[in-house]
Amino acid sequence: MTEAMEQSGTGPSPELLAAMEANLFEAYAHLGRALGGEFHQRDGLLFFFSGRPVFFGNGVIRCQLAEQEADEQIAALCAEARRRQVPLTWLLAPSSRPGDLEQRLQAQGCRLDEEVPGMAIDLGQPVPAAAPPVPEDLVVEEVGEARAMETWLQVLCDGFGFPEPIRAVFFDLYQRYGFLPGQQVRYLLGFWHGEPVGTALLTFGGGLAGLYGVATLPQARRRGVGTAMTLAAMRTAEQLGYRRATLQATPMGLNVYRRLGWQEYCLFKTYVLA
């Protein structure tokens, strides 16, 4: 439970938690399919191997193991990753089992890579008075053709400061598929003074709109670009008929989301076997 929940004395409904998890799981599975991953589902596990030597290229999306079989299953998957000589990422969510899964992963050499709050919001509410200001001359457009998609990808990689191996994977996907929007995703690109400066990505799953990929170029930060991209994504999701949205907040964006009315409901963690 997050600090905000502890202070309020309230928690999320099981249905909301399940929907938030489902959205994140589907987003990662969508990436895994794009990477050409081999998917396997067995004994409370859903995982894939793409063979890509990057942290997100091979992953355990869902882990709900019985205590008596957990160590054997975890050890087998870690051994398979080592045999393939690729990193392996484990997504941990509120439903992940057993309860001491983190300790069991650590025993196999996995390390905690990230711990982020899962947040959600009811769409259609007025923007709170405490919301950060946004640039009046920022224009947000939905990406709909390949050239704009390439620009979106460049801004995303520069905004997050991705190293070359990760950039190479994303641009390889673009070369192979065109990396264009479909039924499951929407890409938003923000222009300030005519120059592309921000990105956002919507992924749909679990009955929610998931907000991902909110990035701002370094030279355009602290000007409200991230806030504007978030609001634009929320409006787009609402126009598509979604009543709620979810995201996993980075430390840089957490306070912005709070000021926009997003609430923290759980924690998501990633462990990586490098």
Do 106 and 140 lie in one domain? The reply is no
Return the residue matching tokens 């799981």.
25
Return the residue matching tokens 């999701």.
237
Do 257 and 127 lie in one domain? The reply is yes
CATH number of the domain enclosing 125: 3.40.630.30
Q: What is the DSSP string of 192-229?
A: ETTEEEEEEEEEEETTEEEEEEEEE-GGGTTSSHHHHH
The one-digit pLDDT tens for each residue of the chain (274 residues) are 344 443 344 678 999 999 999 999 999 999 999 899 999 998 899 999 999 999 999 999 999 999 999 999 999 999 999 999 999 999 999 999 999 999 999 999 999 999 999 999 999 999 999 999 999 899 999 998 888 999 999 999 999 999 999 999 999 888 877 656 567 899 999 999 999 999 999 999 999 999 999 999 999 999 999 999 999 999 999 999 999 999 999 998 999 999 999 999 999 999 999 9
Q: Which domain holds residue 113?
A: 14-117
Q: Which amino acid is at 132?
A: P
Do 93 and 209 lie in one domain? The reply is no
Say how far apart CA 229 and CA 140 lie, in whole Å.
7
Final residue in a domain of this structure, among 117, 138, 160: 117
Domains in the chain, number: 2
Do 205 and 113 lie in one domain? The reply is no
Do 24 and 153 lie in one domain? The reply is no
| pTM across the whole model | 0.91
Contacts for 51-54 with beta carbons within 8 Å, 24 or more apart?
51/84, 51/86, 52/86, 52/169, 53/85, 53/86, 53/87, 53/165, 54/87, 54/165, 54/166, 54/169
Do 261 and 141 lie in one domain? The reply is yes
Asked if 50 contacts 58 with a C-beta cutoff of 8 angstroms, the reply is yes
